[in-house]
Amino acid sequence: MIYCPECGTANRDGSKFCNECGHTLLAQTGVKCPQCDTLNAVQSVFCSSCGGRLLAQPTPAPSAITPPIKGLSLPTKTTVGEDEEDVEQLPTEGPEVPLVSAMESPVRSTRAEGAGELIGEESEEIPDWLRDLQASLPVEPELEAPEPQFTLRPSPPTPEAEVERASELDLQEEIEQSPETPPAVLEEAPQVEAGKVPDWLAELRSQASIAEPEKPAMPPVPLAEEELPSWLAELKASSEAEVPTAPPMEAELEEEELPSWMAELKASSEAEIPTALPMEAGLEEEELPSWLAALKVSSEAEVPAAPPIEAELEEGELPPWLAELKADRETLPSISEEGPKAEEGAPSVQHEKAPPGRQGHAAPEVIGPEPMPPAAEEVPKGQEMPDWLVPTPGMGIPGEGETLARAEIPAWLLALKPRELEAEGDAVEPVVEKAVEQTGVLAGIRDVLPVEMLIAQPRAATPVEVTESPFSAEADLVEAPRARLFAEIVSRSPVVAPKVVAKPRARWLDLLPWWIVYALLILAVAVPLLLGEPLFNRSIEPAPSVEALYEAIESLPGDAQVLVAVDYDPTTSGEMDIVGQSLVSHLMDRQARIAVVSLLPAGPATAENLVEEVAADHPDYQTGDGQRYVNLGYLPGQAAAVRLMGQSLPYAFPRDFEGRQVTDLAALSGITSTQSFDLIVELAAATDTLRWWIEQAAAPYGIPMVAGGSAAVDPMARTYYETDPQQLTGLIAGVPGAASYDSLDSGGTGLEPEMAIRLDSLLAGQVLVILVILGGTIAVGSRIRPKSVPRRGAGREQ
C-alpha cells in the first residue's frame, strides 16, 4: 500500500496519484534498483530483475554491551524475538543497497515501533522491562506529516534470543491455559512457577555476563553497589535467593509468592491496565518503588509527545550510551526540516551520513529526528533509567545545546525535495520521471495530472499514435486499448446523416414528362407559322397610347430629324424587331432623317439589321449615303452618355458607326445635340434604358419622346405615359401593340397576314402557359393554409 503524503489515504501499489486527493505518488511508486535501474514495488527487499539487494544490510552494532543506565531502578529482563514475526528475516548476503522507505500508516508511531524494532534488533540485549515499558506506552500523535514507516530489519536473532523466545512461547501457552490470565495484556508474558527461576531473570544473568564482553566499543560503566536502584538490588538479591517474581503486568503468582515490589506492581496492574507507564497504576505515592515513583513524577509533569532526551542527570552522569543518543539527537535534522527538501526528489534511498556518535552502530534505518533509545545491552545493569528516557525520544526536536547527527534521508523524503535544492549539489537519483506537463496551457508546470494525449494536443485529422506512454508498463497494458479506442473515436470525422425529407405525394400531373410539355409548346408556336394562314379574324381596337404614338410620328414635319435609340440585342429581337419594324417603317414612310444610336454594345449591329430589313420594303428610302439615315453606333456610359449627347452630339459621336465624320453627314445637318432632334423614339427591351432616356433627354430638354418596348416594359412605361405633362407621348408594347400600330398604319383595313400569323402563334403559346399554370395550381399549390398558422407578410407573397 502506498500512503498519500497529503491526506494519508491508502492507495494500491503502483498508484501514481492518490485516489482521494489526487496528490502525486510518484515519489512513492517504487524502489529503483541501483544495479539494473529496475523499478520495483515498494517494500521490496530484492530486485525483481537482477535480484540485487534493495535494502541496506544493517551493520552490526559495534558493541553488544549495553552501558548501564545510571539511576535506573527497573528490573531488566531481556526478551528476544518479541516482534520477530513482524520483521523480515533477511539474509546477510547481498550488497549494501540504500534502503527505501515506504509510506505506511501515518498513525503508527515511529518511536514505538522503531524503538520496539530497534529493541528487537538487539533484542537479546534489551532488557525485558524496557521493552515492556515501551510497548505499553501510548501511541503519541504525529506532530507533522505522517511519519514514514520503514521496513526495519532486525538483526538476526542471537542464540540467546532464540532461547528467550522459546521460553516466552512456553509461558504464553501456560498463560492461555490458565483461567486467570488477563485477557489482553501481554500475552507473551511468561508465567513464573513457584520456586522456578524466571527465564527472564536467567536471561538477565546470562546477558549480564555476556553483554559486556559483546560490546567492546562501549565499555560498560559498572555501577557501584550503592548506585544500583533499589529494585535492581532487590532483584539481584532475589535472583540469588528465591524465585523471582514475574513482572507486574504478568501477575500470575500467588500473592504470598510475589516479592513485595512485584506484588505492588500486580496490584496496580489489576486496578488498571496500564497502557502508559506503570506509574499510572494508581498506587499510593508512598507505596511506589523509587523507580516507579520517578516514572510517575515524570509522567505527571506533562510529558510532551517527544520528551526530550536531555537527561535529568548531569552531563557527567550520563552513561556512554545515553551520551551517544544525546549526541545523535543534536546532529540529526528534524522531520520538518527534511520534509520540504526532499519533496521533489526521487524516492531513492540514501543513507545519510551516520551521526558522529553512532558511527559504530548499525546504519540508522529510521529517519533522523528520532534517535532510537539505547539498546538494552547499552543500559548498564543496576542503573536507573531516567524518566526522560522511558518515553522514547520525541519527534526529533533537539534540545538546547544538543545537536543531532545527520540521519539518512529516506527515498520518499528525497522525492519531495525541490529542484532548486537539487541543483545545489545534492545527489538525488530520481526513481521515476518527474511529472512535468509538456503541452497545452499548463506546459512547464510540475506535478500536473497527465491527460490523454489526444486531449492535450490539437486533434489532428488522422488518429494520433500514442507511442510513448507516461504510465508504467503495467498501466499501459490496461490503458492502451482504451486509449486507442478513444483516439479512434475522436479522430473520426462526424458523419452527418442526410436528412430524410418526406417526399410529397405525387400526382398524376407530376408524373407528366416535361418534354411533352415542351414539345406541345413548340407545336403551338410553330403550327400557325407553318400554316401560313391566319387562324382567326381579329378586330383590332388600338389603345390610346398606340394612337398617340401614331399621331406623334404622323405629325412630324417633312425631313424631320428623329433620333431612334435601338436598345435591345438579338436576345429580345424576336419581339422587338416586330415593334421596331412598325415604327421605323412609319418613319421611313414619313421620310424622316433617322439617326440611330444605342446604349448597348450590340445595339448598333442590331439596328443595322433592323434598318436594312425595313429599308428593303422602302426602296425610295436610301440608307447608305448618309442623307437620310446614319448609324451613330454605341455610346458607353449609360445615363451619362445620354446626358452627354444632350450637351453636344459631335462631342459624343465624332464618327458614326461606319467611321464617317458626323459633321459631314447630311442626316445630321443642324444637329448639335439631342435637343436638336424633333422626336426621340426609344426601342427598349428593358426598363433601364427607357428611364435613362426619359430622365436625361426627354424631361430635362422637353424633347418629345415615344417608346416601343416589350410586354415586360409596358407596366413601367405606362407610368411615364400617364403623367401630365406626358413624359412619353406615345407607347406601344409587345406584339399586340405592334399589331395595333400596323392596323392604324394600314388605314384600318385590318391586320396584315404576317402579323395575324404571329398573333395566332402567340395565342397558342399563351394558352399553353395558362394551362400549365392551372395544372400546377391544381397539382402542387392547391392547399389552403389553416387559420391557426400565422400569415406571412404580403411582400413575401409577391
Partner 1 sequence: MLILRRTLPTALAIAVGLFVLVALLLPVPLLSTIGTYFIDCAVIIAAFALFLGLLNVVRVHLRHIRERTKTWPYSVLLLVALFIVLLIGLVTLTPSQADQSQPSGPSHPALQWIYTNVMAPLQATFGALLAFLTLAAAYRLARIRDAASVVLLVVTLLVLAGQASFGLLPVLPQLRDWILDVPALAGMRGILLGVALGTVLTGIRLLLGVERPYSD
Q: How far is the CB of 22 from partner 1 (least distance, A)?
A: 55
Q: How far is the CB of 610 from partner 1 (least distance, A)?
A: 11
Q: How far is the CB of 754 from partner 1 (least distance, A)?
A: 15
Listed in sequence order, the residues at least 6 apart from 254 whose beta carbon sits closer than 8 Å to its beta carbon are 194
H/E element, 682: strand 679-684
- Measured CA to CA, the distance from residue 358 to residue 124 in angstroms comes to 20
Q: How far is the CB of 657 from partner 1 (least distance, A)?
A: 5
Binders of partner 1 among residues 555 to 574 (CB under 8 A) are 569-574
Binders of partner 1 among residues 330 to 359 (CB under 8 A) are none
User: Which of 453/540 has CB closer to partner 1?
Assistant: 540
Residue type, 795: G
Q: How far is the CB of 548 from partner 1 (least distance, A)?
A: 14
Q: How far is the CB of 619 from partner 1 (least distance, A)?
A: 21
User: Is 568 in a helix, a strand, or coil?
Assistant: coil
**Given the rule CB under 8 A, which of 69-77, 225-233, 324-332, 536-544 is the region that contacts partner 1?**
536-544
Options 217, 518, 666, 754; binder of partner 1; rule CB under 8 A: 518
**Given the rule CB under 8 A, which of 147-155, 250-258, 586-594, 632-640 is the region that contacts partner 1?**
632-640
From residue 642 to residue 681, what is the string marking binding to partner 1 with x (rule CB under 8 A)? -xx--xx--xx--x-xxx----------------------
Options 1, 185, 273, 543; binder of partner 1; rule CB under 8 A: 543
Binders of partner 1 among residues 294 to 333 (CB under 8 A) are none
User: Which of 414/685 has CB closer to partner 1?
Assistant: 685
User: Which of 276/615 has CB closer to partner 1?
Assistant: 615
H/E element, 561: strand 561-567
Q: How far is the CB of 500 from partner 1 (least distance, A)?
A: 23
Binders of partner 1 among residues 226 to 285 (CB under 8 A) are none
Q: How far is the CB of 626 from partner 1 (least distance, A)?
A: 11
Options 514, 516, 533, 749; binder of partner 1; rule CB under 8 A: 514
Cβ contact 45:53 at 8 Å: yes
Binders of partner 1 among residues 92 to 151 (CB under 8 A) are none
User: Which of 211/755 has CB closer to partner 1?
Assistant: 755
**Given the rule CB under 8 A, which of 25-33, 307-315, 516-524, 615-623 is the region that contacts partner 1?**
516-524
Binders of partner 1 among residues 572 to 601 (CB under 8 A) are 572-574, 601
User: Cβ atoms within 10 A of the Cβ of 531, count?
Assistant: 12
Cβ contact 384:317 at 8 Å: no
Residue with cell 458523419: 495
Count interface residues toward partner 1 (CB under 8 A): 78
User: Which of 183/659 has CB closer to partner 1?
Assistant: 659
Q: How far is the CB of 482 from partner 1 (least distance, A)?
A: 47
User: Which of 205/538 has CB closer to partner 1?
Assistant: 538
- Measured CA to CA, the distance from residue 537 to residue 534 in angstroms comes to 7
Q: Give, to the nearest 10 degrees, the angle between helix 734-745 and helix 544-554.
A: 50
- Measured CA to CA, the distance from residue 553 to residue 551 in angstroms comes to 5
**Given the rule CB under 8 A, which of 221-229, 280-288, 634-642, 664-672 is the region that contacts partner 1?**
634-642
Q: How far is the CB of 518 from partner 1 (least distance, A)?
A: 5
Residue 461 binds to partner 1 (criterion: CB under 8 A): no
Cell numbers found for residue 608: 443595322
Q: How far is the CB of 562 from partner 1 (least distance, A)?
A: 20
Q: How far is the CB of 682 from partner 1 (least distance, A)?
A: 16
Rg (CA), the chain: 61
Residue 517 binds to partner 1 (criterion: CB under 8 A): yes
Q: How far is the CB of 561 from partner 1 (least distance, A)?
A: 21
Quote the distance between the C-alpha of residue 16 and its chain's center: 19
Cβ contact 351:32 at 8 Å: no
Q: How far is the CB of 751 from partner 1 (least distance, A)?
A: 8
Options 339, 374, 393, 633; binder of partner 1; rule CB under 8 A: 633
DSSP 53: B
Cβ contact 70:227 at 8 Å: yes
Cβ contact 380:68 at 8 Å: yes
User: Which of 305/521 has CB closer to partner 1?
Assistant: 521
- Measured CA to CA, the distance from residue 522 to residue 655 in angstroms comes to 44
Torsion sign, CA atoms 507, 512, 513, 517: negative
Options 538, 591, 686, 726; binder of partner 1; rule CB under 8 A: 538
User: Which of 461/501 has CB closer to partner 1?
Assistant: 501
User: Cβ atoms within 10 A of the Cβ of 270, count?
Assistant: 13
Q: How far is the CB of 663 from partner 1 (least distance, A)?
A: 17
- Measured CA to CA, the distance from residue 299 to residue 279 in angstroms comes to 8
Phi, psi of 481 (to 5 degrees): -60, -40
Torsion sign, CA atoms 156, 162, 164, 167: positive
User: Which of 392/572 has CB closer to partner 1?
Assistant: 572
Cβ contact 730:738 at 8 Å: no
**CA neighbor of 27 nearest in space, from 345, 403, 470, 361:** 345
Options 12, 492, 505, 785; binder of partner 1; rule CB under 8 A: 785
**Given the rule CB under 8 A, which of 100-108, 187-195, 465-473, 603-611 is the region that contacts partner 1?**
603-611
Q: Are strands 39-40 and 561-567 parallel, antiparallel or unpaired?
A: unpaired
User: Which of 123/572 has CB closer to partner 1?
Assistant: 572
**CA neighbor of 100 nearest in space, from 474, 373, 432:** 432
Options 163, 211, 553, 641; binder of partner 1; rule CB under 8 A: 641
Q: How far is the CB of 423 from partner 1 (least distance, A)?
A: 55
H/E element, 680: strand 679-684
Options 462, 539, 749, 788; binder of partner 1; rule CB under 8 A: 539
Q: How far is CA 284 from CA 231, 232, 298, in A?
A: 17, 21, 16
Q: What letters, b where the CB count within 10 A reaches 16 and e where it falls short, cover 40-64?
A: bebbbbbbeeeebbbbbbbeebebb
Q: How far is the CB of 472 from partner 1 (least distance, A)?
A: 55
User: Which of 585/606 has CB closer to partner 1?
Assistant: 606
Cell numbers found for residue 219: 565499555
Residue 531 binds to partner 1 (criterion: CB under 8 A): no
- Measured CA to CA, the distance from residue 314 to residue 310 in angstroms comes to 9
Binders of partner 1 among residues 720 to 779 (CB under 8 A) are 722, 734, 736, 739, 751, 759, 762-763, 765-770, 772-777
- Measured CA to CA, the distance from residue 229 to residue 58 in angstroms comes to 34
Q: How far is the CB of 598 from partner 1 (least distance, A)?
A: 11
Strand order in the sheet with 705-709: 629-634, 593-598, 561-567, 679-684, 705-709, 730-733
DSSP 368: T
- Measured CA to CA, the distance from residue 292 to residue 266 in angstroms comes to 13
Options 177, 468, 784, 788; binder of partner 1; rule CB under 8 A: 784
Binders of partner 1 among residues 678 to 717 (CB under 8 A) are 711, 714-716
**Given the rule CB under 8 A, which of 29-37, 286-294, 534-542, 556-564 is the region that contacts partner 1?**
534-542
- Measured CA to CA, the distance from residue 498 to residue 234 in angstroms comes to 102
Binders of partner 1 among residues 606 to 625 (CB under 8 A) are 606, 608-609
**Given the rule CB under 8 A, which of 103-111, 445-453, 464-472, 514-522 is the region that contacts partner 1?**
514-522
